[in-house]
Structure 1
Amino acid sequence: QLIISLLLYSLSSEVSLSCPQECPSTHDLLNSLRQVEKMLALHETSYQQGLRSLRKKINALHNSTMAFFKNKSPSSCPKPDPPANGRRLGRVFAMGHEVHFLCKPGYELIGPRTRVCLESLKWSGQQPMCRSESHTRLNSTANSLASFSSAASSFAALSASSTTTSSSLASSPTPSSPSSSVRPSNCTHFLGSTHCTCDVGFTISGRDNNICTADIDECHLFPLAQPGRLCIHQCVNTPGSFHCVCPPGYSLSRDGRSCTDIDECENLSHNCTADRLCVNTFGGFKCVTVKCPKTKNATYIKTSPMRCERNPCMFGDKACTQAPNSISFHFLAVVSNMSAPRVLFRVSAARVLGDTLRFGLAGGRGRGHFSVQRSGRQTGTLLLVTSINGPATLEAEVEMSELENNTLLGRYLTKVTLFVSPYMF
């Protein structure tokens, strides 16, 4: 529109300079341009109105979309806040999932330790809070101890008047010598109501729920033989809790329940001398000596720390040629009661000179636990066929014989020593 106005002004100036007022075509041209200016102004107004209408429609569509998502039912519970001076464990808030709450040292959790997202998409129980232990003791010691004394007196009176339950109540605590399995509860008074709780592992009891008795023996509830056991080796019950213990040669894993074998050979905590080899076992170690056999028929020389080879035989010495060409030594560490059958070791020939290769057991302690099978043209496999209850040390001698036209070309002996741990882990 500004361009049209400038054009009209320029055109009118040029017309006034070049043509006097008696020129009728000049007035007609100016009127036409003014009509064009009005028409463009009307188009601009219509465009602005259409743009405003389009913006209103976009805003209405955005508002309806947001309202749809706001009104849509959520698929999880709202995120629960951690208690002051505590923290929340758990990041999934979907239906059926749990969150757990813990307090910092010096604070005690008041309320449920675990909350579950229900089908109503609400958390079970009330929001817990962390209360200072010193504050809780100051508020509840007098009332709790008084109730504890009266409850203990009632236990003593009941024990004296009943003959059928006297033996079971004889160990009940008295005011003068309270047992570590009975302690006062932690009570909080808030808005005219009293809420009492017990430490983890204790059960609240008493007329007014003001004493905690009978420490729960988690080790008894979850024995080692049951699935989901607390400890893989030994569980030690403590007032309100438990802890796991590992046997010598193991360290407690990060989960506080499993045991990890300590490799004494790797960390140099063994006492093997320089002329002996350290072999790590599950829960300990063994110091072994690899020596070549001394026989009348053949002589052997140690060609590596784990291998002995026979010296060449004299021509015609059949006894010497019947002796093994080489003897290899291997040491394996296994756990007790390992499932069977199980592959323990494989013996392979690097090259075959004859036309036949045979594998078999030549000897060793505990032969009834082992078997040798052919697993390939040049490979034999040592199998454990029955489980072994440790601790035990067994030996198996695997013999590989090479023949040509049923004539023995050579024998190769592999001695496998099995160190069975007394533990199943």
Structure 2
Amino acid sequence: MILTQAVIVFLCLGLIHTGFGQDCPSRQEMQSSLKQVQKLLSTHESTYLQSLRTLRKRLNLLQSTAVLANNGTCPKLDTPANSRKLGRVMSPGHEVYFICDAGYELVGTESRVCQESFTWSGHQPTCRDINECASGPCLNGGTCVDEVNQFSCKCPKSWVGTSCQSPVISGFVAMTNTSAVLSAPSVTVGLFVRPSRCTQVQGSTHCTCDAGYTISGRDSTTCTDIDECELFHTGQAGRLCLHSCINTPGGYRCSCPTGYNVTRDGRNCKDIDECATRQSNCTRDQMCINTYGGFQCVHVECPRLRNSTYSKTSPLRCERNPCSVDNKMCPQAPNSISHHFLSVVSNLSAPRTMFRVSALRPIGDTLRFSLLGRGQARRHFTVQRSDRQTGQLVLVSPVQGPAVLEAEVEMTELDKRVQLARYITKVTMFISQYEF
């Protein structure tokens, strides 16, 4: 208040002096001048707050560097049972990955990061035994028994096979002249044709076939293969195979596309993690991102802008270097740019939240979230606020793969409607060709 009054007196005296005795300006002119002064003060205040923030980051970096000079590391992490651990460096900024053994699935986060406080992010994951019966591998009323890394099916009387997939069909032919059966001509046997097994009971002949075969019409001496892929293509128990079914003599087998393996139940497909199994050809300066049915090698480079420069603080993050006092355009550039890569299946149901952006310690009084770019980004995504400090990227329409979608989420920090800082998060989605 005192500063405002002093400005009013100064403006009035200045105008009287320059106007050679003219009257003090009108009230409207004074208010206009005051708004200009207030805008100038707000700009200086914003610059001051930004300078404090930059100074705080520098102090934290110096403190972390000083601790690292004393060989500071995070405590050693134990390897969960039935898993293996990737990553030996335990300095701040480095990650450790966990991969479960065959037959087990990961519960919790797959990686942990050594933080500047020399503590690990997240919680220690565990590996639990996969319930092979969870997918319902036994068909036609069969009972599944979960075993170590495998399963078995107890089938009803009329069904046989590893998944109770083949019906037991027997043929009954009444023969008045038994010798006619015994003197029947020989049958040509192939992979999909077999002779039946016949027995005589009280003057009649009872013929049966092996599992997966059935009597060929009226000819009780010949058994032909049952095409399970065609017979059970659309049944109550669903398709025999998640992807492709191949008929075989007396049975069938399932196949998966390139980049997938058939699961232990013999019906479903599981993605091959080329990054974890080191099957990728990514170079040292690239990161391997596992996708459904393949992988991607990515390398993040910091932007080169005319009025600002950036430094890489992690493999996926770039931060703006401090701005010089005379560079007025530099503070308008993003303070940081981070990259995130997601692997999703084709035709993912929507709406669905794909990513969240939040501020841990906001300085200003307002956070604003927005979606940058046009075209596909606007057609398939939107940005919504989930709470005061968090915005979320939402997929609003399914996407047919294979495709790559990119979206940029901007978080702006404001104080009294004056911009303090901008943060950009780039999200890249690798969409597979298949829906499973």
Same fold (TM over 0.5): yes
Q: Call closer, same or farther: CA 1:401–1:221 in 2, change over 3 Å.
A: same
Look up the equivalent residue of 1:183 and give its one-letter code: R
Deviation at 1:194?
Answer: 2.6
Greater Cα offset, 403-412 or 362-371: 362-371
1:146 aligns with 2:184: yes
The structure that is helix-richer by fraction is 1
Deviation at 1:397?
Answer: 0.4
Q: How many residues end up aligned between the 2 structures?
A: 274
**Whole-Å Cα distance in 1 between the matches of residues 367 and 183 of structure 2?**
85
Among candidates 282, 299, 310, match of residue 289 of structure 1: 299
**Whole-Å Cα distance in 2 between the matches of residues 234 and 348 of structure 1?**
43
1:374 aligns with 2:385: yes
Once the two structures are superposed, what CA deviation does each residue of 1:378-423 show, in whole Å capped at 9, x if it has no partner? Answer: 0000001110111111110000001112111110000001000111
Equivalent pair of 2:311/2:321 in contact (CA under 8 Å):
yes
Aligned to 1:342: 352
SS of equivalent residue, structure 1 residue 220: helix
**Whole-Å Cα distance in 2 between the matches of residues 268 and 331 of structure 1?**
19
1:266 aligns with 2:304: no
**Whole-Å Cα distance in 2 between the matches of residues 292 and 217 of structure 1?**
58
1:324 aligns with 2:324: no
Q: Call closer, same or farther: CA 1:90–1:266 in 2, change over 3 Å.
A: closer
**Whole-Å Cα distance in 1 between the matches of residues 182 and 285 of structure 2?**
69
Equivalent pair of 1:148/1:211 in contact (CA under 8 Å):
no
**Whole-Å Cα distance in 1 between the matches of residues 433 and 219 of structure 2?**
51
**Whole-Å Cα distance in 1 between the matches of residues 272 and 350 of structure 2?**
26
**Whole-Å Cα distance in 2 between the matches of residues 390 and 102 of structure 1?**
39
Deviation at 1:182?
Answer: 3.7
Once the two structures are superposed, what CA deviation does each residue of 1:61-120 show, in whole Å capped at 9, x if it has no partner? Answer: xxxxxxxxxxxxxxxxxxxxxxxxxxxx8699xxxx97449999xxxxxxx959xxxxxx
1:202 aligns with 2:213: yes
Q: Call closer, same or farther: CA 1:145–1:293 in 2, change over 3 Å.
A: farther
Q: Call closer, same or farther: CA 1:262–1:364 in 2, change over 3 Å.
A: farther
Aligned to 1:136: none
Once the two structures are superposed, what CA deviation does each residue of 1:22-41 show, in whole Å capped at 9, x if it has no partner? Answer: xxxxxxxxxxxxxxxxxxxx
Equivalent pair of 1:252/1:259 in contact (CA under 8 Å):
yes
Once the two structures are superposed, what CA deviation does each residue of 1:195-224 show, in whole Å capped at 9, x if it has no partner? Answer: 2112333321354511123x3322223337
Look up the equivalent residue of 2:281 and give its one-letter code: N
**Whole-Å Cα distance in 2 between the matches of residues 220 and 90 of structure 1?**
24
SS of equivalent residue, structure 1 residue 209: strand
**Whole-Å Cα distance in 2 between the matches of residues 188 and 360 of structure 1?**
79
**Whole-Å Cα distance in 2 between the matches of residues 208 and 405 of structure 1?**
91
Q: Call closer, same or farther: CA 1:279–1:203 in 2, change over 3 Å.
A: same
Equivalent pair of 1:328/1:415 in contact (CA under 8 Å):
yes
Q: Call closer, same or farther: CA 1:311–1:226 in 2, change over 3 Å.
A: farther
SS of equivalent residue, structure 1 residue 352: coil
Equivalent pair of 2:364/2:420 in contact (CA under 8 Å):
yes
**Whole-Å Cα distance in 1 between the matches of residues 294 and 235 of structure 2?**
24
Unaligned runs of 5+ in 1: 1-88, 105-111, 115-124, 126-141, 150-174
Aligned to 2:47: none
**Whole-Å Cα distance in 2 between the matches of residues 287 and 145 of structure 1?**
70
**Whole-Å Cα distance in 2 between the matches of residues 233 and 421 of structure 1?**
14
**Whole-Å Cα distance in 2 between the matches of residues 289 and 147 of structure 1?**
72
Q: Call closer, same or farther: CA 1:208–1:216 in 2, change over 3 Å.
A: closer
Look up the equivalent residue of 2:395 and give its one-letter code: L
Among candidates 329, 333, 354, match of residue 364 of structure 2: 354
1:394 aligns with 2:410: no
Equivalent pair of 1:364/1:395 in contact (CA under 8 Å):
no
Aligned to 1:67: none
1:414 aligns with 2:425: yes
Look up the equivalent residue of 1:278 and give its one-letter code: C
| Larger Cα-atom Rg | 1
1:184 aligns with 2:222: no
Q: Call closer, same or farther: CA 1:404–1:265 in 2, change over 3 Å.
A: same
Q: Give the percent of matched residue pairs that are identical in Structure 1 and Structure 2.
A: 58
Equivalent pair of 1:145/1:184 in contact (CA under 8 Å):
no
Q: Call closer, same or farther: CA 1:269–1:229 in 2, change over 3 Å.
A: same
The structure that is strand-richer by fraction is 2
Q: Call closer, same or farther: CA 1:147–1:206 in 2, change over 3 Å.
A: farther
Deviation at 1:315?
Answer: 2.1
Q: Could you say which structure has the greater relative contact order, defined with CA pairs below 8 angstroms and 6 or more residues apart?
A: 2
Aligned to 2:3: none
Equivalent pair of 2:160/2:211 in contact (CA under 8 Å):
no
Look up the equivalent residue of 1:244 and give its one-letter code: C
CA RMSD after TM alignment = 3.3
Q: Call closer, same or farther: CA 1:401–1:208 in 2, change over 3 Å.
A: closer
Equivalent pair of 1:224/1:233 in contact (CA under 8 Å):
no
Among candidates 249, 264, 267, match of residue 239 of structure 1: 249
Tell me the TM-score normalized by structure 1: 0.58
